Amino acid sequence: MQFEELVAELTSRMISGTFISGTISQSRTKTDDLKRVKIKPVELKGQLHIQFEYQYERILKHENILPDALQTYMQQLLEQFKQVHAEFSDEKIHVQISKKFKVMWKSDKVLSGKVADLSHNRKKNYLLDENTPYPFLVRLGVQTPDGKVKKQKHDKFRQINRFVEFIDDSLAYLPKDRTVRILDFGSGKSYLTFALYHYLRIEKGLDIKVTGLDLKKEVIEECNVIAQDLGYDNLEFLVGDINDFNDETSVDMVVTLHACDVATDMALARAVKWGAKVILSVPCCQHELFSQLESPALDVMLQHGLIKERFAALATDSIRAELLSLVGYEAQLLEFIDMEHTPKNVLIRAYQTGKKSSAEDYARYHAFKNLLNADPFLERELGDLLDQ
């Protein structure tokens, strides 16, 4: 099979109605930040699209392509990568593309009975089923006792499930041979803290100890009552903030949601110094960089207060992710449903991998920082680790 025939054949099969999912991987260039592309069919407004999920080292991007434009996209991707896996309702295929674009096609017939799930706009397959009663969701007023999500709580239910997806993705990085220590800074009403405990302890059976920390005494008292009522023996809530919490020397997972401005950086720095395997952080109120920004090359943007504020927030979180990467984490900026602030927000997800950063990595970071005239609080907090 010739390369052009491969492109045409895959494109045709992907819109035939039998396509379930696929992965394009093995980049031809080691310097390519795009690691792999996952593909699946989705239905949007009654019309078939093919969804491309671009998995970069630190971020994910999605693009939905109509059938008419699909062949062009596939050709561009297959010119960049050497391997394709694809699953259809009656067949699995594996394709290798050589340096000279010779095609090796392997096919296995299957009788799985699978059909394509086009449910982009249809009912979401949640990790927490929306028709199953969960004691913590009933107690928190999200569900009725028979398991129905209350009308005014559908947004909260989606937010909780999105968070549980992040927790599920993190399972591989958590220890299995001892108690997993988890801290949640700024836990607030603790919808997500209870969800985390339920999913890891009840659904997955992990041995965990979770502490939620918040400054509001009355909220903490109420959360402790709920935890006791639910029989969540290894879930506790304490009054305090990140600066008060010095009882731990080692923590496996740190969660920080809506810590304002540099309080997020304090939590990230503490997590790194504890050697946390997993960090999940949803920042807010990123004011620090806004007051520092001074870059004539960006004046066309920064002369507008609204744009400057948004740019500062995005640049702040980009700097945070880059600094985490420099100290041995795989860091990504992901979209998070957050109904309390904006319809969509950024979540920083970082896994400790111990990967060593190169001189080029440091140079790239410093070039960006210097462009903005930035003096990041988090960099100062991680100073000793960055010097190493």
Residues 61 and 196 in one domain: no
How does residue 341 score in pLDDT terms, banded at 50, 70 and 90? very low
DSSP letters spanning 272-323: HHHT-SEEEEEEE---HHHHH---GGGHHHHTSHHHHHHHHHHHHHHHHHHH
Residues 73 and 143 in one domain: no
Q: Where is the domain boundary, 109, 125, 150?
A: 109
Residues 235 and 333 in one domain: yes
Evaluate whether residue 126 is within a structural domain: no
- The predicted pLDDT at position 121 comes to 44
The domain containing residue 337 runs over which residues?
135-387
Evaluate whether residue 127 is within a structural domain: no
Phi, psi of 42 (to 5 degrees): -140, 160
Give burial (CB, 10 Å; 0-12/13-18/19+) of 70: buried
- CB within 8 A of 205, min separation 6: which ones? none
CATH number at residue 381: 3.40.50.150
Residues 188 and 49 in one domain: no
- The predicted pLDDT at position 369 comes to 95
pLDDT per residue as tens digits for the range 207-253: 999 999 888 899 999 999 999 999 999 999 999 877 777 777 889 99
- CB within 8 A of 257, min separation 6: which ones? 184, 186, 187, 188, 192, 281, 282
DSSP letters spanning 3-60: HHHHHHHHHHHHTTT-EEEEEEEEESSTT-SEEEEEEEEEEETTEEEEEEEEEESSBE
Evaluate whether residue 88 is within a structural domain: yes
Evaluate whether residue 154 is within a structural domain: yes
pTM: 0.69
Report the distance separating Cα 46 and Cα 54, nearest Å. 24
Q: Where is the domain boundary, 109, 144, 165?
A: 109
How does residue 149 score in pLDDT terms, banded at 50, 70 and 90? very high
Residues 200 and 316 in one domain: yes
**How many Cβ atoms sit within 10 Å of the Cβ of residue 56?**
13
